[in-house]
């Protein structure tokens, strides 16, 4: 019988050259819009602003960018950190001069709620593709998961990026190889898991709270954890709950933005 658990993250020339470079706005100096406040239609946002948006499942990150652009009328709008289409949660969009600060936001730690399913792997390491292999999982216990987390998935670790990703390899995106059934060699990369906790465990499913560095693939974390537990696993659901000091519960939902600007596009 599986247990069910609940637990509750004088200048030299170089200096002169740096002084001539355009400065990027400080994040604390930028207005932040979200669930509790949106700019009035027609507001001038070219000076820079951050929009906290709760991305729905099924939307790409660029779908959200296009949606917001059409309503605020600022062509220079971009997102600061991709979420996969099936994932939900916090997506930060930058407008105008705030796009110069995108890298600052991307460097912030990110927190996720991850639903992991044991017993099967998928080519994409998540639920976007059907299972390609199965393995027994009845031996896995909550205590074993905690031990594996503590010993193998905490602090600085190395990950091999998934084939279904937008990273470049020999002039092509990795997903372009994956869609043709090809697997190419990828170098591992160092990432950091600042904090990871098992929130719940029942039968073939577990929920993790993960605070991690830039560049972390949570679906790869799920895949690798399955291997470490002596079975297979894939990511069955993902929600980004925070990016640095910004939280998903502060983010505006798509329906709220659509209603506020009352413009179909």
pLDDT in tens, 160-188: 988 777 777 778 777 788 787 878 778 89
For residues 203-215, average pLDDT: 96
Q: Which domains does the chain show, CATH number per domain?
A: 29-107+245-261 (3.30.2350.10), 110-243 (3.30.2350.10)
Q: What is the pTM of this model?
A: 0.86
Determine the pLDDT at residue 264.
Answer: 47
Three-state SS for 264?
coil
For residues 107-131, average pLDDT: 96
End-to-end alpha-carbon separation of the chain, Å?
52
Count of Cβ atoms closer than 10 Å to residue 33 Cβ: 24
Is there a contact between 93 and 78 (Cβ–Cβ < 8 Å)? yes
Is there a contact between 205 and 193 (Cβ–Cβ < 8 Å)? no
Out of 44, 54, 63, 84, the active site residue is 84
Determine the pLDDT at residue 21.
Answer: 41
Three-state SS for 200?
strand
- Read off φ and ψ for residue 149, nearest 5 degrees: -60, -50
Three-state SS for 117?
strand
pLDDT tens for 64-106 read 999 999 999 999 999 999 999 999 999 999 999 999 999 999 9
Among 240, 257, 237, CA closest to 105: 240
pLDDT at residue 233 tops 80: yes
Among 80, 76, 20, CA closest to 48: 76
84 flagged as catalytic: yes
């Amino acid at each position: 019988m599986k247990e069910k658990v609940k637990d509750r993250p004088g200048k030299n020339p170089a200096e002169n050259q740096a002084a001539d470079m355009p400065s990027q706005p400080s994040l604390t100096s930028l207005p932040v819009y979200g669930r509790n406040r949106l700019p009035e239609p027609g507001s001038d946002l070219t000076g820079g602003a951050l929009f906290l948006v709760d991305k729905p499942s099924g939307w790409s990150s660029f779908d959200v960018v296009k949606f917001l652009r059409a309503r605020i009328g600022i062509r220079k709008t971009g997102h600061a950190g991709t979420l996969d289409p099936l994932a939900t949660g916090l997506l930060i969009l930058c407008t105008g001069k705030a796009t110069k600060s995108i890298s600052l936001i991307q460097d912030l730690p990110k927190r996720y709620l991850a639903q992991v399913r044991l017993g099967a792997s998928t080519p994409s390491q998540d639920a976007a593709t059907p299972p390609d292999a199965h393995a027994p999982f009845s031996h896995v216990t909550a205590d074993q998961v905690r031990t594996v987390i503590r010993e193998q998935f905490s602090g600085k670790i190395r990950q091999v990026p998934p084939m279904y990703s937008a990273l470049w390899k020999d002039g092509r995106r990795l997903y372009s190889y994956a869609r043709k059934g090809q697997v190419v060699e990828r170098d591992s990369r160092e990432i950091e898991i600042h904090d990871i906790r098992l929130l719940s465990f029942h039968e073939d499913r577990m929920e993790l709270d993960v605070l991690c560095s830039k560049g972390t693939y949570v679906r790869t974390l799920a895949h690798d954890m399955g291997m470490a537990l002596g079975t297979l696993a894939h990511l069955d659901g993902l929600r980004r709950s925070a990016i640095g000091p910004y939280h998903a519960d502060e983010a505006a939902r798509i329906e709220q933005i659509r209603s506020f600007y009352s413009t179909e596009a």
